[in-house]
């Protein structure tokens, strides 16, 4: 699962850079740059640690510096991850969100984890 998540996050990151949102709002993943500052592997390990210690919770991370978010749930027991892109700035990043949701489906991270 680690490799698959790392590849997904890298693809999401590139997608965010290639698909700018509304002029003046910055790139879709501007805040996510800080989140993955120590590398994608370190972030995935952090996700796994949270999933183990808080097994029945979802977590959210801001992708931009405002209201564009990625919500994820990882059930370590059955090794399933569900990811959703949303927030109150979805309308300003429509192209990115549409492609990101397609990417989530491509990686099969759109299925229920319970």
36 within 8 A of 13, measured Cβ to Cβ: yes
- Return the higher-pLDDT residue of 66 and 15: 15
Distance of CA 3 to the CA centre of its chain: 15
Taking the domains of the chain in order of start, what are their residue ranges? Answer: 2-106
pTM: 0.87
- Phi, psi (5° rounding) for residue 36? -100, 20
pLDDT in tens, 34-93: 877 778 888 888 888 888 888 778 888 889 888 899 998 888 777 788 999 999 999 999
Q: Which residues pair with 62 in a beta bridge?
A: 69
């Amino acid at each position: 699962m680690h490799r698959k998540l790392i590849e997904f996050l890298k693809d999401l990151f590139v997608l965010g850079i290639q698909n700018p949102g509304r002029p003046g709002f910055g790139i879709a993943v501007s805040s996510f740059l800080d989140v993955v500052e120590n590398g994608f592997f370190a972030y995935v390990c952090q996700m796994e640690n949270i999933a183990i210690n808080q097994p029945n919770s979802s977590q959210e991370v801001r992708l931009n510096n405002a209201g564009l978010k990625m919500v994820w749930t990882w059930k370590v027991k059955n090794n399933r991850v569900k990811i959703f892109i949303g927030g109150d700035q979805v309308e300003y990043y429509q192209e990115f969100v549409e492609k990101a949701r397609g990417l989530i489906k491509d990686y099969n991270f759109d299925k229920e984890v319970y």
